């Protein structure tokens, strides 16, 4: 992998920019351990102090994470995504669900109006994956399929800004509520949502979103009552 060498004064900023580019282009995917310090010093043609300062800046921004005795890993694909994750961690679940409701309700409405044949094919494939996970009682697989389904619906809305925004925050949003996921009612409501999008019925699509968000909220309230 070739990394362009820095040549101007603000070396730290240039190294930060180049590492961000590697992460955002998926050359360093989330979860990847970055190369050893000496390798990076050679590739960027910078000193150890400059490199360490750049890495500290990226750790602070949330793009990288240092693990004691293991190395430094890519923790987010964007500064925006990392910022969302920090905010979501500080928020309660009800606030998180309100954000999901706002984004996913509008995405469902637009998808019902704008979806094309390619979108329908992708949507049906996601539903099949959810069904397969349900049959195998595989909660982890279902959670992953659920995320993919919602991303597919957002893509079918054909709004680039909405897609980018949802992509940046979706993992943090979904991870915060998947411990509440009840697979059987979720698959039923998701099937209704998909049917509304396929049938180009925006009102029904929005109502389906309202139903599964309500299920999550009811679960939260029941858990709170149980704890109290």
Last-in-domain residue among 77, 100, 128: 77
* Paired residues of 73 in beta bridges: 33, 65
pLDDT of residue 127: 94
CATH number at residue 94: 1.20.120.530
* Residue in the block written with tokens 């094919």: 121
Q: Residues 70, 104: one domain?
A: no
Q: Residues 65, 137: one domain?
A: no
* Residue in the block written with tokens 């590492």: 19
Residues 6+ apart with CB under 8 A from 88: 96, 169, 172, 173, 176
Q: Residues 180, 148: one domain?
A: yes
How many structural domains does the chain have?
A: 2
Q: Residues 110, 216: one domain?
A: yes
Q: Residues 29, 16: one domain?
A: yes
Range of the domain at 100: 81-227
pLDDT of residue 52: 94
pLDDT of residue 81: 61
Q: Residues 53, 123: one domain?
A: no
Q: Residues of the chain whose pLDDT is less than 70?
A: 1-9, 79-91, 171-185, 223-228
pLDDT of residue 104: 94
Q: Residues 59, 139: one domain?
A: no
CATH number at residue 58: 1.10.10.10
């Amino acid at each position: 992998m070739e990394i362009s060498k820095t040549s101007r004064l603000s070396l730290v900023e240039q190294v930060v920019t180049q590492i961000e580019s590697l992460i955002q282009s998926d050359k360093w995917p989330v979860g990847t351990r970055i190369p050893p310090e000496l390798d990076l010093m050679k590739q960027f043609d910078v000193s150890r102090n400059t490199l360490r300062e750049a890495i500290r800046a990226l750790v602070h921004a949330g793009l990288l994470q240092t693990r004691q005795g293991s190395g430094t890993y890519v923790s987010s694909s964007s500064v925006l995504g990392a910022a969302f994750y920090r905010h979501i961690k500080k928020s309660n679940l009800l606030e998180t669900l309100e954000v999901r409701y706002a984004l996913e309700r509008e995405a469902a409405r637009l998808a019902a109006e704008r979806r094309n044949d390619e979108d329908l094919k992708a949507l049906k494939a996601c539903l099949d994956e959810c069904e397969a996970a349900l049959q195998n009682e595989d909660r982890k697989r279902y959670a992953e399929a659920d995320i993919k389904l919602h991303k597919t619906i957002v893509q079918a809305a054909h709004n680039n800004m909405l897609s980018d925004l949802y992509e940046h925050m979706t993992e943090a949003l979904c991870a915060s509520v998947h411990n509440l996921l009840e697979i059987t009612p979720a698959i039923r409501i998701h099937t209704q949502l998909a049917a509304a999008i396929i049938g180009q019925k925006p009102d029904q699509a929005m109502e389906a979103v309202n139903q599964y968000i309500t299920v999550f909220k009811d679960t939260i309230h029941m858990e709170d009552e149980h704890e109290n």
